[in-house]
């Protein structure tokens, strides 16, 4: 007779409460991840066990965040379910990837239907792997020349066919049309004389993939580097945009409702 005591009402209330707690926890992890990405800092610690004195920047930053915000402290670590901590390496990698994908998407939206050129160069990272960087060059709607980083990828060798295959794959991934390409600049060519955009990419690569992080995978390196190099675009991204992509990547233990995401 009392609707507030009905099973359906109790389940609905629990589900709504879980979603709010989950969303608060996930947003806190994303906030800390964004800070570390923009600073080019490492996230994971070598030893993240309870006994460790240095669990890595992400865990330490979350601990600090929790001490400053009571609302955050109530949903993190010991106050969160053991299978829903949102601090595992896989969750972190997914969040970093979402940040990079949305940054590139924002970049391509800014370019619109403009014709563009590419600047290509390669260099070895700290693990002695050949990395090819591709920088777009286009004129935006205000008439300013932009040279954002599209991405980097590992190549087995630097022959023409390998470079072409890598560029084709990168274009396909980001939905770019080869018909809009109007110029190509490669290391050593006369039309590369400074621009220094590609060289700045490799300087940043050595900062991000340093001697202590030389086991970083290619995808993680690309995602970190894109966000770090294009911080101005990344800072404009709303958390909700990144959260929505994160939720849609794969089935999650708890799904955020569309209403919760669009709040």
What is the value of pTM for the model shown?
Answer: 0.87
Torsion of CA 58, 62, 63, 69, to 10 degrees: 160
DSSP-based three-state secondary structure for 254: coil
Which residues 6+ apart lie within 8 Å of 233 measured at CB? 103, 106, 107, 110, 148
Q: Which of 23-32, 46-55, 92-101, 171-180 has the lowest mean pLDDT?
A: 46-55
Residue 259 reports pLDDT greater than 80: no
User: What DSSP letter does each residue of 215-240 carry, written as one string?
Assistant: T--HHHHHHHHHHHHTHHHHTTS-HH
| pLDDT tens digits along 163-174 | 889 999 999 999
In angstroms, how far is CA 245 from the centroid of its own chain?
11
What is the tens place of the pLDDT at every residue in 202-234? 999 999 999 888 889 999 999 999 999 999 999
Strands (E), the chain: 116-124, 130-139, 145-146, 149-154, 181-186
72 closest CA partner among 24, 112, 104, 142:
24
């Amino acid at each position: 007779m009392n609707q507030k005591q009905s099973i359906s009402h109790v389940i609905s209330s629990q589900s709504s409460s879980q979603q709010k707690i989950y969303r608060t926890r996930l947003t806190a992890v994303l906030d800390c991840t964004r800070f570390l990405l923009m600073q080019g800092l490492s996230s994971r610690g070598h030893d993240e066990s309870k006994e460790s004195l240095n669990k890595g920047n992400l865990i330490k930053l979350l601990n600090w965040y929790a001490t400053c915000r009571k609302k955050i402290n109530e949903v993190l670590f010991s106050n969160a379910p053991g299978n829903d901590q949102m601090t595992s390496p896989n969750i972190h990698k997914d969040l970093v990837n979402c940040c990079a994908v949305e940054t590139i998407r924002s970049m391509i939206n800014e370019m619109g239907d403009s014709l563009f050129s590419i600047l290509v160069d390669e260099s070895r990272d700290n693990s002695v792997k050949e990395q090819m960087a591709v920088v777009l060059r286009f004129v935006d709607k205000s008439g300013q020349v932009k040279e954002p980083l599209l991405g980097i990828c590992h190549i087995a060798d630097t022959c023409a066919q390998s470079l072409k295959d890598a560029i084709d794959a990168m274009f396909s991934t980001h939905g770019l049309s080869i018909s809009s390409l109007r110029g190509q600049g490669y290391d050593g060519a006369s039309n590369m004389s400074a621009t220094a955009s590609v060289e700045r990419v490799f300087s940043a690569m050595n900062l991000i993939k340093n001697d202590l992080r030389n086991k970083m995978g290619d995808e993680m390196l690309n995602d970190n580097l894109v966000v770090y190099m294009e911080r101005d675009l990344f800072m404009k991204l709303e958390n909700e945009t990144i959260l929505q992509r994160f939720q849609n990547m794969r089935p999650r233990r708890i799904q955020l409702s569309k209403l919760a995401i669009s709040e």
